[in-house]
Structure 1
Amino acid sequence: MIPFFHLRPYRDGDETSLAKNADNYQIWRNVRDVFPHPYTLEDACQWIELCKSQTKPTVFAIDVEGEVIGAIGIVLQKDVFRKNAEIGYWLGEPFWGKGIVTEAVQEMVQYAFKHFDIHRLYAGVFEYNPASMRVLEKAGFHLEAILHQSVYKEDKLWNEHIYVKFREETKNPDKF
């Protein structure tokens, strides 16, 4: 059974649970290097302030019983890519394998297509993260491409798997 969770904007008081759940090497190795490791309380404070400054939220905390256990968001693209957004997420390790992220991705897809003028959502997954690939597939994304040796992480080149979902593939974009 999937634990009850909800997506919500960050708020004051989230700093401790955010830092506690984000400060994990196993999370860091699956995300971009801009995600700090170690993840400190100061990092959490800066992130929350940045997210609170958005007029139309693009990033949400994944909340279980008032605790930030992860995050999900989109990055709107610009110029000729303006009809695209990249989706990204992470989840605290104690909550892995419970179906939370799959449902969170499905909710975020609904939100993104309802609130933003985009046509395409995509996600890049490092080749050694099949769990994240399964999350996206369960959420209705499909593999579009493999970018060979395009990611440099931990002093090694890795392939990046690009998953995509188009607006017309979304059953009910007005639900969220």
Structure 2
Amino acid sequence: MRSDAAKRREALVREARRLFAAHGSDVALESIADAAGVGIATLYRNFDSRAALADEVASAILSDMQRAAAAALETIGSTPETAWLTYVHRLVELDLGALSAALADFVTSEMSGTVREAQEITLDGVEKLLAAAKSSGLVRPDLGALEFVLAIGMITRPHPEAIRAAAPNLVPQLVSIVLAGMRP
């Protein structure tokens, strides 16, 4: 793929990810193309369907999660508390809840084998990191990767404007509470 074509494809995935998180997966594909600075034909040259685009967005999220786990695994031996907290906050920044909600229709019924495989690799990386965190006394022995990822996803789900206004620090507060509850 030519570099300019690769940049356009990356822009489409980046904007789809942003717009899916903000507005759900039913956002108009034309809006994604516009936000990426390309025409709708370019979007369809890269992704033949909304499901194909959702697969690519899911793959990008899983890739980010894999990189975050790998980075934490590199440092958890020397600075366990810092590595663990940095990892959790990286996952929160990925906006997993909003993206999971937006992609739920696609990743459950039409998920490609590639995304399923990436999901398995991601959960395996999270399990390895959890094992290291358990060894360091940072998390309970009964915490599994899926439960952990789902907890972060539930915390970062979109909240109604009234709740965000009444509790502007809701997500950081919930992260703090969940981290405390994960302790042995």
TM-score normalized by the length of structure 2: 0.31
Which has the larger Rg?
Answer: 2
Larger % of strand: which? 1
TM-score normalized by the length of structure 1: 0.32
Q: Say which structure, 1 or 2, has more relative contact order (CA 8 Å, 6+ apart).
A: 2
